[in-house]
Amino acid sequence: MSAGMLCKHTLDAGFGQFLNILNHVCFKRGAYFAKVDANGTSQTCPRCQTHTGKKELSERVHKCPECGYETNRDVAAAQVVRQRGYTAVGHIAVNFGEG
Ligand SMILES: [Zn+2]
């Protein structure tokens, strides 16, 4: 079902259902749930918040030209998502890659 004309729609529907279930489970357990804007997460440095520009999909390493922070591209994007989540609930953003 995830192949062919309905491929993307099916996968989007599956992910949307996952988010609905996650929202429900968080509600039942008293945990906070919120979505964050995922746009540009691979183009932002999680340490210094500098916009680093678009990366090709083949570029698997995030290397910031400003602060020199270097890590896996997906890890950097996940750190940006986490910071946006912290910011959404009023926590101070955490710097990564120290030491
Ligand atoms: Zn940086």
Distance 84 CA to ligand 1 centre (A): 16
Tokens representing 69 are: 């922070």
Selection from 21-25, 38-42, 83-87, 90-94 with the highest mean pLDDT: 21-25
Q: Are residues 27 and 41 in the same domain?
A: no
Between the CA of 44 and the centroid of ligand 1 the distance, in Å, is 8
Residue 62, Cα to own-chain centre: how many angstroms?
A: 14
Residues 88 and 98 in one domain: yes
- 39 with 28, same domain: the answer is no
Q: What is the pLDDT of residue 9?
A: 81
What integer pLDDT is reported at residue 78 of this predicted model?
95
Q: What is the pLDDT of residues 9-60, one digit of tens each?
A: 877 888 889 999 999 999 999 998 989 998 999 999 999 988 888 888 899 9
* pTM for the predicted model, two decimal places: 0.73
The rounded Å distance from CA 46 to ligand 1 centre is 7
- Which run of H or of E encompasses 61? strand 61-63
**Same structural domain, 53 and 97:** yes
Its domain, for residue 6, covers 1-33
Please tell me the total count of domains within the chain.
2
- The residue whose two tokens read 């729609």 is 9
Q: Does residue 18 share a domain with residue 45?
A: no
Per-residue pLDDT band at 99 (split at 50, 70, 90): very low
Exposure string over 69-94, b if 16+ CB within 10 A, otherwise e: bebebeebbebbbbbbeeeeeeeebe
- CA separation (Å) from 30 to 23, 33, 51, 85, 86? 10, 9, 35, 17, 17
Give the Å distance between the CA of 29 and the centre of ligand 1: 36
- 39 and 85 share one domain: yes
Q: How far is the CA of 92 from the centre of ligand 1 (A)?
A: 17
